[in-house]
Amino acid sequence: MISFNNWRALVRRCMAVLALGCASLGASADTYTQTRYPIVLVHGLLGFDALGPVQYFYGVPSELRAGGAVVYTASVSQSNSTEVRGEQLLKELQTLKARYGHDKFNLVGHSHGGNTIRYVAAVAPELVASVTTMGTPHQGSKVADAVASITSTTGTQGAVAAVVNGLSSVIATLSGSAGNPQNALASLKSLSTAGAADFNRRFPQGAPTSSCGSGPAVVNGVRYYSMGGTSVATNLLDVSDGFLVASSVFFGLEANDGLVSRCSNHWGQVLRDNYAWNHIDEINHVFGLRGLFSSDPVSVYRAHANRLKGQGL
């Protein structure tokens, strides 16, 4: 017969084994997004890293970190040229490398953030493991073309630029990046069809090799990926949908997310170009509102981090 003390020792041993098993399962679950190199999220036009508790990539950084990833959110000018924003990001990466010893980074950019990270990968490929663009106007945006044409024709370009610069400065102040210079006209030029063509000529790494096709997956040791959406009005409760419905008219019958056409979001390896998202859904805003049956943006970012992990990145 087993004595009470032996029973107690046996129970303790079983509990220890159970706890060890649970800890092992937890550790396994917590490594799903644990990439080799840190993930850096880069915002687009009029974006921010965070406004108080509200993240630009809503809910994404915390979920990536929960899976084991090291995540940073960049703080570049809300409105400026791709090159200026790119130089700002480059300095941030150099600072992170010096401070924490990181060798390379997985860069993820939304909208103009995608062009921004491409610049860094082109001028400093030794710092970049991968480039992933989401809803980026690689071939320019017809909305930018329309805004430039309308404001130029009506003589309101200066006034509109002043308003955008003012809004950019307010967002910069609220997000703790007030020192970054703002230049709405430079941003408009970068996002236009002509501006994008000039940028692509100078920085072609990852460019599609055919019309609306894919580009090389690896250039100078850097992996290139792209994704985007092709829906506009996705949720009646989302206040941003009305603006995107209005801006989508400039695309005619061409599939778009309200600001960027399907073919324009192509760069490098095209993972998917037709998610049922609009331009704001691509970053899980406004506050997670999206189409009822559309993919969860946070899950897509998590799955991509796991893809990078599988590539040894």
Catalytic residue among 111, 141, 175, 248: 111
* Torsion from C-alpha of 280, 282, 189, 167, nearest 10 degrees: 40
| CA torsion through residues 50, 54, 58, 60, sign | positive
Q: Would residue 111 show up in a list of annotated catalytic residues for this protein?
A: yes
User: Are the beta carbons of 276 and 298 closer than 8 angstroms?
Assistant: no
Q: What are the structure tokens assigned to 21, written together?
A: 């098993």
Active site residue 138: no
CA distance 113 to 107: 9
Give dist(CA 231, CA 237) in Å, integer. 15
Cβ-Cβ contacts under 8 Å for 4 (sequence gap 6 or more): none
- Percent of the chain as helix, strand, coil, to the nearest 5: 45, 15, 40
Helix axes 82-100, 184-191, angle to 10 degrees: 100
List the catalytic residue out of 257, 261, 285, 304. 257
Residue whose C-alpha is closest to residue 105's, from 132, 78, 136, 80: 132
Any catalytic annotation for residue 257?
yes
**Upstream peptide bond of 245 is cis (omega within 30 degrees of 0):** no
Task: Identify the active-site residue in 279, 281, 285, 304.
Answer: 279
Residue 190 identity (one-letter amino acid): S
Q: What residues are labeled active site?
A: 111, 257, 279
